[in-house]
């Protein structure tokens, strides 16, 4: 037990140590200031701007920034959709895979476009090498870069700066962050045993004399950007539980750190922009404390195991169902919280086999979306909770709320409310419709409390842009319910991504044009431990109360059921 918790602690310490390094670098990229990659990347970026007829000096309004996000993403979606549809006629298809169904192609396109990578298919038996590289791999770069650009534009607006240029922010994040770091990550994974080849599947003879076909492909680079970009889409159906994606403990460590380093660094980047490191670290440690708490709940539950199984064995054993024994319960717990906390959505174990406490913790991550959240937009959601807390505390003392020297008035709090309401609407309404028709729509494999959790988790994962799933649902072809799942989750993915982005940019634009007010002795101090504690209370209370019924009827009820043996 101690060894497992020691592994978790070491991993988290590495992330904390990397936070100011990556956070400071991100700030230099987006301010922008001189970086060590300038001699190589600046000429390439200038070529991109010239080919795209982009004026890098143009500062966009909130509407213009949002329009550029939507138009560029639509163009990317059309390109990727047709690559998926015509993959059977394209090269780099050694296993001669045919065209996926239209609804699977549509769902996959939207899923990877919004940085969720919610997969209703098995990668090695559905997608060709070209599709994995040129279609899905392409979106794995531009999707997180889109979120990062929106997050930076929001931070600029909060501090009274112009929002910037979407195309410049997108290009700089890809060229100076994702591309160089993912290349290093791919080389490291290759050294640790992850394959990178265009050769087809290998047929081997087993020790029993049988024939087995082993899928392989260009996995290392795919895996690197999958984790670094918070994408989560697996090259194989088993994702990071597959030995070709995650062969050993060292690769598992690299993948966990890869998921956490950029989202955690964005909080530090925010502090550099506002020039207040104290507030940065208070927010960081608040998020970190909640994250550690959820890891603790998950780790203890997985270590104690299933009470029903333990009663049959006559002794307490960790929960190993659906888990890789080469990684163990501790790494399963840490990976599960890292992947749901950062909206990455990968998995090194079967989420359907996790204990009820683990499901509760994962759902809390998906409901709050700010622990640490997705790259860029996760920090933006965290700041939304900060603004809400400023407004509530302002009401308590009878004073107009102010944040970073700007008044929070009716327009701002209306936009904040819209952002916070979009998420539960996109989860609870489709989940309720699906649960009303368990046989014809949901295809639930586990009736009862766990089945409810499976359905709610699917829509929560889609709305949050996470992409992980609990399985046990008929959401893959040829299941008759696959069409329902593909279309409804595609709609949830689309609206859950772009509606908050539009509102975030409008809010940032509104704040950027406000006159700053003079700080007085009556101004609420937002860089204190007391205020930070209130933010944590608002986040947790709002998250729990909004989703209390589904939590009570899902993982909480299941935990009581397992404990009592009924």
- Write the DSSP string, 122-184: -HHHH--HHIIIIIIHHHHHHHHHHHHHHHHHHHHHHTT-----HHHHHHHHIIIIIHHHHHH
Both 36 and 180 in one domain: the answer is yes
Give the C-alpha separation, 476 to 564, whole Å: 34
pLDDT over threshold 80, residue 109: yes
Residue-level pLDDT at 444:
79
Does residue 292 contact residue 283 with C-beta atoms inside 8 Å?
no
pLDDT over threshold 90, residue 194: yes
pLDDT over threshold 80, residue 447: no
DSSP 514: S
The mean pLDDT value for 343-355 works out to 91
pLDDT over threshold 80, residue 523: no
Q: Is residue 514 in a domain?
A: yes
Domain boundary among 479, 501, 518: 518
| Phi, psi dihedral angles at 218 (to 5 degrees) | -80, 80
Which long-range contacts does 50-56 make (Cβ < 8 Å, 24+ apart)? 52/167, 54/165, 54/167, 54/168, 55/165, 56/165, 56/168
Q: Is residue 105 in a domain?
A: yes
As beta bridge partners, residue 297 has none
Does pTM top 0.85 for this prediction?
Answer: yes
The mean pLDDT value for 306-316 works out to 81
Both 269 and 380 in one domain: the answer is no
Does residue 189 contact residue 224 with C-beta atoms inside 8 Å?
yes
Q: Is residue 142 in a domain?
A: yes
Q: Is residue 353 in a domain?
A: no
Both 381 and 235 in one domain: the answer is no
pLDDT over threshold 90, residue 403: no
* Among the ranges given (334-348, 363-377, 440-454, 513-527), the one the predictor scored with the smallest mean pLDDT: 513-527
The CA radius of gyration of the chain, in Å to the nearest whole number, is 23
Q: Is residue 195 in a domain?
A: yes
- The number of distinct structural domains making up the chain is 2
Alpha helix stretches (DSSP H) within 306-448 = 307-313, 328-341, 356-368, 377-397, 410-436
**Residues contacting residue 495 through CB under 8 Å, at least 6 positions apart:** 422, 426, 463
* Among the ranges given (34-48, 91-105, 145-159, 515-529), the one the predictor scored with the smallest mean pLDDT: 515-529
**Residues contacting residue 206 through CB under 8 Å, at least 6 positions apart:** 212
Domain boundary among 495, 518, 541: 518
pLDDT over threshold 70, residue 334: yes
Residue-level pLDDT at 273:
94
Model confidence at 10, pLDDT cuts 50, 70, 90, reads: very high
The mean pLDDT value for 90-118 works out to 93
Q: In the predicted model, what is the mean pLDDT of the chain?
A: 91
Token pair for 428? 């609870």
Share of the chain above pLDDT 70, in %: 99
Inter-helix orientation angle 137-158/102-113, to 10°: 40
Residue-level pLDDT at 164:
94
Model confidence at 173, pLDDT cuts 50, 70, 90, reads: very high
Residue-level pLDDT at 521:
66
Q: Is residue 323 in a domain?
A: no
Both 263 and 121 in one domain: the answer is yes
The mean pLDDT value for 150-171 works out to 94
Model confidence at 566, pLDDT cuts 50, 70, 90, reads: low
pLDDT over threshold 90, residue 456: yes
Most distant CA pair in the chain, distance: 81
The mean pLDDT value for 377-389 works out to 94
Token pair 């922010």: residue: 169
The mean pLDDT value for 478-497 works out to 92
Q: Is residue 553 in a domain?
A: no
Residue-level pLDDT at 394:
82
As beta bridge partners, residue 58 has none
Domain boundary among 209, 243, 275: 275
CA atoms within 13 A on the CB side of 297: 20
The mean pLDDT value for 86-97 works out to 91
Does residue 227 contact residue 190 with C-beta atoms inside 8 Å?
no
Residues in the chain: 566
Which is more confident, 519 or 463? Answer: 463
Give the C-alpha separation, 361 to 87, whole Å: 39
Residue-level pLDDT at 6:
93
**Which domain covers residue 217, as residue numbers?**
2-275
The mean pLDDT value for 140-157 works out to 96
DSSP 446: S
Residue-level pLDDT at 522:
65
Give the C-alpha separation, 429 to 446, whole Å: 21
pLDDT over threshold 70, residue 347: yes
Q: Is residue 338 in a domain?
A: no
**Residues contacting residue 486 through CB under 8 Å, at least 6 positions apart:** 103, 104, 106, 107, 120, 475
């Amino acid at each position: 037990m101690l060894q497992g918790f020691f592994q978790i602690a070491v991993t988290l310490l590495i992330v904390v140590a990397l936070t100011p390094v990556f956070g400071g670098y991100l700030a230099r990229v987006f301010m922008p200031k001189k970086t060590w990659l300038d001699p190589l990347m600046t000429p390439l970026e200038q070529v991109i701007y010239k080919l795209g007829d982009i004026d890098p000096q143009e500062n966009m309004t909130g509407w213009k920034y949002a329009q550029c996000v939507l138009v560029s993403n639509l163009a990317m979606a059309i390109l990727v959709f047709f690559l998926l549809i015509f993959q059977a006629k394209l090269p780099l298809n050694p296993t001669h895979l045919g065209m996926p169904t239209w609804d699977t192609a549509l769902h996959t396109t939207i899923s990877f476009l919004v940085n969720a990578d919610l997969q209703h298919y098995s990668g090695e038996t559905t997608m060709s090498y070209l599709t994995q590289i040129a279609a899905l791999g392409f979106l794995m770069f531009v999707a997180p870069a889109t979120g990062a650009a929106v997050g930076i534009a929001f931070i600029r607006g909060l501090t009274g700066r112009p929002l910037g240029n979407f195309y410049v922010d997108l290009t700089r994040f890809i060229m100076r962050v994702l591309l160089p770091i993912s290349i290093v990550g791919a080389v490291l994974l290759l050294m640790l045993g992850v394959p990178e080849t265009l050769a087809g599947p290998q047929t081997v003879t087993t020790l029993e004399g049988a024939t087995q076909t082993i899928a392989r492909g260009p996995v290392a680079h795919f895996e690197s950007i999958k984790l670094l970009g918070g994408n989560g889409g697996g090259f194989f159906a088993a994702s990071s539980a597959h030995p070709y994606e995650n062969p050993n403990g060292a690769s598992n460590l690299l993948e966990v750190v890869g998921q956490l380093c950029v989202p955690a660094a964005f909080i530090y980047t925010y502090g550099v922009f506002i020039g207040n490191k104290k507030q940065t670290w208070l927010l960081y440690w608040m998020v970190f404390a909640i994250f550690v708490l959820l890891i603790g709940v998950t780790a203890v539950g997985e270590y104690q195991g299933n009470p029903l199984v333990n009663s049959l064995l006559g002794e307490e054993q960790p929960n190993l169902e659906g888990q890789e024994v080469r990684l163990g319960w501790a790494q399963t717990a840490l990976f599960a919280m890292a992947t749901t906390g950062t909206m990455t959505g990968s998995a090194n174990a079967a989420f359907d086999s996790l204990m009820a406490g683990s499901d509760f913790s994962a759902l809390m991550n998906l409901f709050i979306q700010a622990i640490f959240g997705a790259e860029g937009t996760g920090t933006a959601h965290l700041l939304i909770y900060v603004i809400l807390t400023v407004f509530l505390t302002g009401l308590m003392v009878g004073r107009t709320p102010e944040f970073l020297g700007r008044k929070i008035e009716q327009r701002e709090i209306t936009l904040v409310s819209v952002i916070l309401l979009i998420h539960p609407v996109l989860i609870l309404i489709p989940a309720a419709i699906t649960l009303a028709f368990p046989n014809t729509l949901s295809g639930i494999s586990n009736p009862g409390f766990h089945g409810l959790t499976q359905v709610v988790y699917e829509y929560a994962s889609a709305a949050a842009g996470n992409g992980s799933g609990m399985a046990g649902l008929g959401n893959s072809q040829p299941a008759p319910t696959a069409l329902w799942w593909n279309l409804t989750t595609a709609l949830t993915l689309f609206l859950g991504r772009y509606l908050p982005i539009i509102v975030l940019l409008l809010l940032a634009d509104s704040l950027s044009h406000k006159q700053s007010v003079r700080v007085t002795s009556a101004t609420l101090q937002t860089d204190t431990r007391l205020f930070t504690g209130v933010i944590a209370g608002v986040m947790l209370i709002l998250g729990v109360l909004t989703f209390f019924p589904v939590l009570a009827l899902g993982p909480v009820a299941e935990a009581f059921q397992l404990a009592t043996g009924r």
